[in-house]
Amino acid sequence: MIPGRAWVPRGFLGSALCLGLAVGIAEGAMEWPQFRGPGGIGVALPDADPPVHFGPSSHVVWKVAVPAGNASPIVTGGSLFLTAFEEGSLLTLCVDRGSGRELWRARVGVGKLEEVHRSLGSPASSTPVTDGERVYVHFGSFGMLAYDLAGREVWRRPMALTQTEYGASSSPVLAGGFVVQLLDQDGGSHIVALDRRSGEVAWRVERPEMRRGFGTPIVWSHDGLTDLVVPGTIWLKGMDPATGAERWRVSGLARITCTSPATGDGMLFTASWTTGGDRAADRVTMPDFDAYREEHDSNKDGKFSLPELPEGPVRQRFKHLDGNRDGFITRDEWESMAEIFQRVENQAFAVKPDGRGGLSDGGVLWRVKKGLPYVASPVYYRGRFYMVKNGGMLTCVDPSTGRAVYQEERLGAVGDYYASLVAAGGRIYAVSQPGVVTVVKAGDSFEVLAKSEFGETLQATPAVVGDVLYVRTATTLFAFREASGK
């Protein structure tokens, strides 16, 4: 262990409650190693068979109290990892996946916390990633850290405080010998690749055209190539994971992209939505800078401070416009955002590579504009593409045509949907922020199989390994299995 770095082995986390079932969860090769599982696309391995019916007092293998955080659980071998925030410290936690017993926790103190959403945000929102030897974590208030599976810190890479009013939530991904972190923010957007072994910077690409974003890249192997697929403002880009060089780009993402892409049958899918991006009454436009300056630049310094702005869309988006956080909106910042507002159009689309594996707007198979998700990433599963819209509305799309098989069917669980869709065992799992997990039969007919009410906030994406479903609520981490019988 590195001297002076906190590593605290423990017995049980808080008020852990192990239910003492006779049969535990067997270790095995099936894993959920990153945000949205194998490949980062939200689909469990083919033989996965998680429970349909479960809840806080039903089919529970174990449950354990955990500190606050929005990061999703990941699993490798016999261990489950997640991050949390408690008493001013950033935590990485490891629990035994068979019993819920805490194996270790690593703590990092910070001098200043990133700004997060006042009610829903957390300084522990990025999901860890593991290669089976180490676990890599990102905190917007600190940077990147790597631990071995016994909890000993291997390296740390401090980074500048994330500059968005909602905090960082893009999760790290592994690409070759690198761990890659996307950091789209109001100013200084970039993507960086660190050497897995040392934490040294292998490459870094600045993204000045990108404003705040919260989607997570995926690594996509196709047509003899491996692309790092990176979502962002307006553009979905393909990058060479070895160098960061751009290979291709496709337009059509939202102004603020919170979702991650999906893949299947040689196609790439994505869906994104943000307020002000629909070509309707809610369309946001920026006034002409010079005309607005004549009316509202009271001290005639050629820029705007917050007190100079009247109530309205510009004032409401002051932090978004003030990319460098100097307290002023300059002409460059204004016109950059005006161009983004003019170009964006909320939609979902599918794109297929050309004969050389490249992608472009010319390869887009279809674009649709209904049923779009805000935060919950879509999923491609068994020949169908699924999206969940805030309010609890599920849409199923034929991926070859873009035709809605069914559209905005009501799940019966209202509220926002921040956790991403998960597909396993012939079913789609949709998780509402108010605390309801709805299980829907995959296929062309909309059929709700079960609903589980937790009575507290649910924002983390569930993990599926074999016949076990792991769910993190605002206070508790659960392991469920149908055969547990309780």
The answer on 261 and 149 residing in a single domain is: yes
Q: Is residue 1 part of a domain?
A: no
Are 454 and 430 within 8 A, CB to CB? Answer: no
What is the pLDDT at residue 23? 38
pTM: 0.89
3-state secondary structure of 257: coil
Q: Do 317 and 173 share a domain, yes or no?
A: no
How high is the pLDDT of residue 5?
Answer: 39
In the prediction, which pLDDT does 6 show?
A: 43
Is residue 2 included in any domain, yes or no? no
Indicate if 332 and 352 belong to the same structural domain.
no
What is the reported pLDDT for 27? 40
| Residue 409 β-bridge partners | 394
Is 281 a member of any domain?
Answer: no
- pLDDT < 70 positions in the chain: 1-30, 280-281, 484-486
398 and 426 in one domain? yes
Residues 431 and 473 in one domain: yes
DSSP summary character for residue 68: B
129, part of any domain: yes
Q: CATH code at 349?
A: 2.130.10.10
Q: For the residues of 273-340, what is the DSSP string, one character each?
A: --TT-SSSTT---PPPHHHHHHHH-TT-SSSB-GGGSPTTHHHHTHHHH-TT-SS-B-HHHHHHHHHH
Looking at the fold, whether 138 and 232 belong to one and the same domain comes out as yes
Same domain, 183 and 239: yes
Same-domain check for residues 19 and 37: yes
Alpha-carbon torsion, ordered 435, 441, 447, 450, to 10 deg: -40
- 405 domain-assigned: yes
pLDDT score for 348: 98
Which of 301, 327, 343 is at the close of a domain? 343
**Overall domain count for the chain:** 2
Q: Residue 193: inside a domain, yes or no? A: yes
Residues 243, 338, single domain; the answer is: no
pLDDT of 115:
85
Q: Is residue 152 part of a domain?
A: yes
3-class DSSP assignment, residue 206: strand
Q: In what order do the strands lie in the sheet with 364-368?
A: 262-264, 267-272, 347-351, 364-368
295/410 same-domain check: no
Does 26 lie in the same domain as 108? Answer: yes
Domain that holds residue 249: 8-274+344-484
Read off the tokens for 129: 């990633």
Q: Which helix (H) or strand (E) holds 478?
A: strand 476-481
pLDDT score at 291: 87
Same domain for 295 and 351, yes or no, is no
